[in-house]
Structure 1
């Protein structure tokens, strides 16, 4: 029996990302064990999102070393992407405000079932696949603390009608469906009240306690929380961009090839100083997201996040399910 913890250990030494306008961040040093809650603190424009993207294999580093679950960066970026997931990253992994909660959940569960499992799982009877998808969705919703019964229209509630904390919970739930070893959440506390902020951190603590390593970008970490590994960006070692330059320096990532799930509730303007060009048209990261109607971040068939290492590839002989089957895959249609 494999006794390896589900969460991925994360280490960084002298880690940095550099772009055409200079350093986005550098000299990041920390060590976190499996199942840790890592808080990345810093002002907007200090490279927080670039750090999140680099540590999940979606942006190429330029200095230092880092490892996620024993996988070195940037050498094993694709492998790192297969064991990590993004949530709540504007311009990179987004919910579609025009779609409903149910539509996001159904598509994500269908993609996970078809591209995130084994060949044997794909050959199981449809009824068993639906039951498995429903179990994945229910477990993810429970872990994220999102109760569909409390939403204005239940599972048919549009994303645009969700409160900020509800949208954060949904984006986290979508990311959890893939069973990541490292969950990276951006702008965790953006525009949340004190009570909402406390509820968000309680959710993330619960995920870490259950074994998933959590990397959360924030403006202010929980006070007096000894269980949080604090990483600060925007120190003296990170020079500011030239006067008049729009935002902080941006990295030069490789071609996008990853898909994920996340949220759009945070302002994209605040990301201009973080990921710079990375947020434009989802071409600024290695793993830009695309999902329902091309913007949710639930993924594509050939993405690294949607196809974890060791997962079977589908071929043209597969009997593809139609839209009606997709909507019914979780049994919630």
Structure 2
């Protein structure tokens, strides 16, 4: 099983992992072995438990069976600690963007929230100009890592979310998640309703993030050629678990089960 290096991304390991909700199993029998700085594709059709798997591996949903570690932290015992080193992007019902807010407003709000989490009392006592410069630098780095250039948008950073193209909204969500400098980044619906060219660009950006050291978990319907690890979830009426990297689901695994998972993730 992969282990963490001295710094950078978080290693992700799981064996026989399963999540069960009120309507049955969302997924079962998942095995993952991903080194730090790995691009992991979580592949499967809609309703196959892939979003639940993403939430479980980022500490937002409690596993019912199996074992898992993220950055040396055990799940489910250390879910809160896993949440502190991970971030989510583009997860419907959890990280939704406000269509009325502008790109700049979203970024400013996230930077202010992040300051409360990692600044501590000493950070809050720093001069205002210093805090503002730090926030600008962090936002700039996150935008560059996500591949979003506000100057290229119709109204620059004043562009409202409702006026963004789908790929631009995905990149904004990535940038917001990256402001926290997570060791593990979970991205949902990576290739949904994107053109072939857009999918290629998004996957290239995620590979770049992984190459820079962040471990990336990306939900998709089809794995890209450049994925380091592929974990496949299976649709309804799937066969029993067959081994590492495969998740089998019961006939009760439905989109409603995913809705339950999202509700729990929001509470987390």
Query: 1:208 corresponds to which residue?
Result: 210
The number of residues matched between the two structures is: 254
The change in CA–CA distance for 1:65 and 1:59 in structure 2 (over 3 A counts) is: same
Q: CA deviation at 1:287?
A: 4.8
Contact 1:44 1:273 in 2 (8 A): no
Query: 1:95 corresponds to which residue?
Result: 97
Note the alpha carbon deviations across 1:68-108, whole angstroms, 9 max, x for none.
00000000000000000000000112111111111100000
Q: Which is strand-richer, 1 or 2?
A: 2
Q: CA deviation at 1:273?
A: 4.9
TM-score w.r.t. the length of structure 2 is: 0.91
Over the residues paired in the alignment, what is the CA RMSD in angstroms? 1.5
- The SS at the match of 2:231 is strand
Q: Given the alignment, which residue of 135, 138, 143 partners 1:136?
A: 138
Q: CA deviation at 1:115?
A: 2.4
Q: CA deviation at 1:275?
A: 1.3
Whether 2:116 is the aligned partner of 1:126: answer no
Structure 1 Cα separation of the partners of residues 151 and 136 of structure 2 = 16
Query: 2:251 corresponds to which residue?
Result: 241
Contact 2:28 2:249 in 1 (8 A): no
User: Where in structure 2 are the equivalents of 1:65-104 lying within 5 Å?
Assistant: 65-104=67-106
Structure 1 Cα separation of the partners of residues 187 and 79 of structure 2 = 18
Structure 2 Cα separation of the partners of residues 186 and 34 of structure 1 = 19
- The SS at the match of 1:65 is strand
TM-score w.r.t. the length of structure 1 is: 0.74
Structure 2 Cα separation of the partners of residues 205 and 274 of structure 1 = 30
Note the alpha carbon deviations across 1:219-247, whole angstroms, 9 max, x for none.
11113x3x5210001152234435xxxxx
Gaps of 5+ in 2: 241-247
Structure 1 Cα separation of the partners of residues 103 and 165 of structure 2 = 12
Q: CA deviation at 1:278?
A: 3.0
Q: Which is helix-richer, 1 or 2?
A: 2
Q: Given the alignment, which residue of 189, 192, 196 partners 1:190?
A: 192
Structure 1 Cα separation of the partners of residues 149 and 27 of structure 2 = 38
Contact 1:182 1:213 in 2 (8 A): yes
Contact 1:32 1:229 in 2 (8 A): yes
Contact 2:94 2:266 in 1 (8 A): no
Gaps of 5+ in 1: 243-247, 250-271, 289-333
Contact 1:56 1:81 in 2 (8 A): yes
Structure 2 Cα separation of the partners of residues 13 and 154 of structure 1 = 46
